[in-house]
Amino acid sequence: MRQEAVMPGLGWRWLLALSSAPCFVLLIFFPLTPESPRYLCSRGRTMDATVILERIARMNRGTLPPGILIYTPEKHVDNNLGTSETALLIAEDNAGTEDDTSSKTSGIVAFQALWSYDLLQSTFLLWFLYLANYFAYYGVILLTSELSNGKRRCTSARTHLMQPNSINLYRDVLLTSLAEFPGLLLAALLVDRIGRKTSMGGMLFMCGAFLAPLSVQLGEGLVTTLLFCARTCIMGSFAVLYVYTPELYSASTRNTGVGITSSLGRIGSIVSPLVTLGLLESCHQKEAVFVMDLVLFLAGATCAFFPRETKGCQIQ
């Protein structure tokens, strides 16, 4: 409805600006966000960290274990200890002795730890999963606009471009966008019941199953329904993936691992329109759907190769 009110008179630039405006409301909550207790401990502010932990315990209707919070970081790597993850990770130095050089060194060591024996397999699998999820997520969004209400009809001889019905296009985009809410609910219901790996794999396979019928011409209502279900599944997979990723890394490598993995995943969002739109505009709808299904199938199968399931495990 917002698109129908803004687009005809003001254009897409105003629509983008007005759609981004609510994001500024989030700035209000930044002062309310607590600092990381581990960060405070690494800076020698153990009392501040204790206060935050006590507040977290009260909000969860619990109490902290008796004792005093003590931070004892590791400062050296002993290459003779073996190839275990613990032996390869370096924690940050205390705030009083850490300078810019040691900070950079800690980041380099954290990056090197991603290539350790215990993390190498998980790192590569996560990279592919993020690429596949970003590719499929934006592919589903692009399919919504391209397949909406006969926007493009192709024959074997030539391409016939038809003027899209804007009202139906906006309606379809709105309906499929609402699919993200049940996607998050589905992820919340499954992630602690059947585990991270099974949840992701199942939803990726289901997303591919919902997209498969779109390789042929279908009615508008059925197309919208299939896209709605596909977006529900890919959103649920994304949510579980963002839960699973930090659980695979320990505290010393978590920020580096999650940051690099998420950044590499953006390549999938860049490639997605080049492949999806490129094939659809050249009247290769079957090929476009096949490529997406292939990526989703490989991503779903990838979930089975993670070395460990983190359901019910304490974060390191």
Q: Which of 16-30, 65-79, 88-102 has the lowest mean pLDDT?
A: 88-102
249-262: average pLDDT: 84
295 in Cβ contact with 132 (< 8 Å): yes
Q: Which two tokens stand for residue 32?
A: 């309310």
pLDDT at 137 over 90: yes
Query: Average pLDDT of 94-114?
Result: 58
Is 169 a residue whose pLDDT tops 80? no
Average pLDDT of the chain is 79
- 108 or 90: which carries more pLDDT confidence? 108
Query: Which tops the pLDDT comparison, 199 or 95?
Result: 199
Q: How confident is the model at residue 298 (pLDDT cuts 50, 70, 90)?
A: very high
CB 158 within 8 A of CB 292: no
Q: What are the start-end ranges of the H helices in the chain? A: 2-10, 12-20, 37-42, 46-59, 85-88, 100-113, 117-147, 166-177, 180-191, 196-211, 220-248, 254-281, 285-302
pTM of the model: 0.72
Q: In terms of pLDDT, which residue wins out, 82 or 35?
A: 35
Mean pLDDT of 101-129: 75
Evaluate if residue 300 carries a pLDDT over 50: yes
- pLDDT reported for residue 7: 64
Q: Which pLDDT belongs to residue 63?
A: 86
Query: What's the pLDDT score for residue 96?
Result: 46
Q: At what angle do helices 196-211 and 285-302 cross, to 10 degrees?
A: 170
Write down all domains in the chain, each with its CATH number in brackets. Answer: 79-113 (no CATH), 118-305 (1.20.1250.20)
Question: Confidence class of residue 25 from pLDDT cuts 50, 70 and 90?
Answer: confident
pLDDT of residue 107: 64
Residue-wise pLDDT tens digits, 55-91: 989 988 888 888 888 877 655 444 444 444 444 343 4
The region of weakest confidence among 84-93, 131-140, 162-171 is 84-93
Q: Is 161 helix (H, G, I), strand (E, B) or coil?
A: strand
pLDDT at 2 over 60: no
In the chain, pLDDT over 70 holds for what percent of residues? 78
Separation between Cα atoms, residue 95 and residue 1, nearest integer Å: 52
Q: What is the pLDDT of residue 104?
A: 56
Rounded mean pLDDT of 12-27? 83
The upper half-sphere exposure of residue 62, i.e. CA atoms within 13 Å in the direction of its Cβ, equals 7
Instruction: Look at 134 and 251; give whichever has higher pLDDT.
Output: 134
pLDDT exceeds 90 at position 213: yes
